[in-house]
Amino acid sequence: MRRISCIIIGLLFVFSGFVKAVDPVGTGLIFSEYFNAFGLHFPGSFGLVAGVMLSTLEFLLGVMLLLDFRKNLTAWGTFLLMSFFTVLTLFLALFNPVSDCGCFGEAIKLSNWETFIKNIIFWPFTLFLFIGRNRTAPLAREWVEYLVGALFALFAAGISFYSYRHLPLMEFMAFRAGNNVAEILDNARNDPGITFETELVYSKNGREALFSIDDLPDSTWTFVDSRTREISSGIRHKITDFTVRDEEGRNVGDSLLAIKPAALVLLVTTEQRLNNKTLDPVKPLLAECINGERPFYVISSVAPSVILSALEQAGLQMPVYYADIKTLLTMIRSTPGLMVLQDGVVNAKYAWRDFPSSEEWIRLINTDPELVVAQSRIHNRLRIEILALTVFLLIFLLRKGFWFSRRHM
């Protein structure tokens, strides 16, 4: 039973850690929701760091279980971690401070009760591991097991680092390349689903107040945060709303998705990276869009005065629209980032470090959009399959190699 438990919990932890590691920004947002729900006020980067640490720990524990390394340490780690999250998810199920536990990142969405039941099912396997933690001999020398564990931990942290600096290696959001967002929105609006309510927190003279999206305060108030809570159950859609407003406050989200020619969209969620390093590569792209009479616009969550001033200083003149930060981070994890939208379909996405050159943009718009999307999906799928195959092949070879050497010592 112990060996079966090692495989089951090992695979569970590897999967859970991996899907969090490929989207560190999303995992950090989930942690930030937890902190806000429990009244803990940490810097925004703290959620990101906590998310990377948890994903690395889960991945490492899963690998060590599959290798059967450091039996006592991994048994303690998995038992305590699963016990903690079982108690936590019971609290979430009873009081619903957040609508999604985030245990599988954006890959698999579970309600709080579903998550609690899942933990109840898997918790006994961690108990079996804990009880039998000292019943078998080590497979390898202690320093070898620690070294292998450290290498796999670096591998998981490296995935998070790459995905943070660029875009997630594997994306599960509604705005991933190839998705028809307009169609997804129509399906969500026509089908019964989970209903959420978004409340915006503004402050004035040291006092905070809640406002709805349709009833925003005047300019004397300062935006602080946004909170989303579930108010009715049903089908859990990837996206249920796409609210983007122009300078007069009109919702133009559906109109932007309906634009037929390929449009470049610059997405900005923070003013910290609005500088020459990130905006200079946009200039030749804007010139090509003007020459080719193709749309190029900005969607921003920063204050209008800030984004307009930054664009003016960079010599960029283009339409600017506004959305809340959660909408933009659903669209792209990089800030700033570029997205190619055509008739509601996401053709391509770029982190600011990977903005295309004007030549690449010309080549992109002259290529069949379906071919562009297919190539992107095939490339990403191959990358993930190679990573997964490499990890499990290494685990298998290490496991068999150490087992064989121990049998013939």
pLDDT digits (tens, 9 = 90+) for 284-302: 999 999 998 899 999 999 9
Please tell me what DSSP assigns to residue 355. Answer: P
Q: Is residue 383 part of a domain?
A: no
Give 158 or 398, the one with higher predicted confidence. Answer: 158
- In the chain, the number of structural domains is 2
Q: How does pLDDT run across 373-403, given as a tens digit for each residue?
A: 888 778 878 888 888 899 899 988 888 877 7
Q: How large is the average pLDDT for residues 177-203?
A: 78
Q: Is residue 213 part of a domain?
A: no
What pLDDT score does 407 carry? 64
Angle CA 164–237–385, to nearest 5: 45
Please tell me what DSSP assigns to residue 357. Answer: P
Residues 272 and 135 in one domain: no
d(CA 107, CA 119): 17
Beta bridge partners of 245: 251, 322
Residues 55 and 150 in one domain: yes
Q: Is residue 342 part of a domain?
A: yes
Q: Is the pLDDT at 93 greater than 60, yes or no?
A: yes
Q: How large is the average pLDDT for residues 9-21?
A: 95
What pLDDT score does 302 carry? 92
Q: How does pLDDT run across 204-250, given as a tens digit for each residue?
A: 888 888 887 777 888 788 877 766 665 555 555 667 778 999 988 89
The pTM (predicted TM-score) of the whole model is 0.85
SS3 (DSSP) at 207: strand
Q: Is residue 284 part of a domain?
A: yes
Q: How does pLDDT run across 66-83, given as a tens digit for each residue?
A: 998 899 999 999 999 999
Q: Which amino acid is at 84?
A: F
d(CA 147, CA 260): 54
Of 165, 87, 187, nearest to 353 by C-alpha is 165
Please give the mean pLDDT across all residues of the chain: 88
Please tell me what DSSP assigns to residue 342. Answer: E
Residue where one domain finishes, among candidates 117, 147, 165: 165
d(CA 24, CA 5): 28
**159, containing H or E segment:** helix 142-165
Residue where one domain finishes, among candidates 145, 165, 185: 165
Residues 155 and 259 in one domain: no
Q: Is residue 57 part of a domain?
A: yes
- What token pair was written down for 245? 């407003």
Q: How large is the average pLDDT for residues 18-44?
A: 88
- Residue 326 burial class via C-beta count within 10 angstroms: exposed 0-12, middle 13-18, buried 19 and up: middle
d(CA 409, CA 406): 5
Of 231, 230, 225, nearest to 200 by C-alpha is 225
Domain containing residue 14: 2-165
What pLDDT score does 237 carry? 62
What pLDDT score does 269 carry? 92
Q: Is the pLDDT at 263 greater than 90, yes or no?
A: yes
Residue where one domain finishes, among candidates 120, 145, 165: 165
